[in-house]
Amino acid sequence: MAKIMIVDDTAFMRAMIREMIKGSGHEIVAEAKNGEEAVKLYPNAKPDVMTMDITMPDMDGVTALKNIRKLDPQAKVIMCSAMGQHAMVLDAIQAGAKDFIVKPLQQQRLLEAIAKVMG
């Protein structure tokens, strides 16, 4: 199964994603509260997949995704956001996101996205 890193600025959302993933056989290897922290943690955490919020303080998800893909062009990131605007989705996909999930997250959709990006 996959090693997963959760990136979201709200502790509640990180806990919710952790709970959805728990029991699915996947392992949470790191959590970050913003994009800046995610970029710092990525090299040591070496996740197979990341869930990444788009709107966060200090560094947004699309900027973090771009920086992480500089470190690892093969990084697999699933963007998660309450703002499902077309432009944001396009920015995320162009930056290299492998999937996009609109909040509120559904467990089934999250697990399907993880399975899809793991190939």
What does the pLDDT read at residue 36? 98
- Taking the complete model, does pTM exceed 0.85, yes or no? yes
Residue 4, beta-bridge partner list: 28, 49
**Cβ distance 74 to 65 under 8 Å?**
no
Using the predicted structure, report yes or no on whether residue 89 has a pLDDT greater than 90.
Answer: no
Looking up tokens 């966060």 gives 56
* Domain segments of the chain as ranges: 3-80+91-105
Give the model's confidence band at 84: pLDDT under 50 very low, under 70 low, under 90 confident, else very high. Answer: low
For 3-80+91-105, CATH number out of 3.40.50.2300, 3.30.460.10, 3.40.50.1970, 3.40.50.720 equals 3.40.50.2300
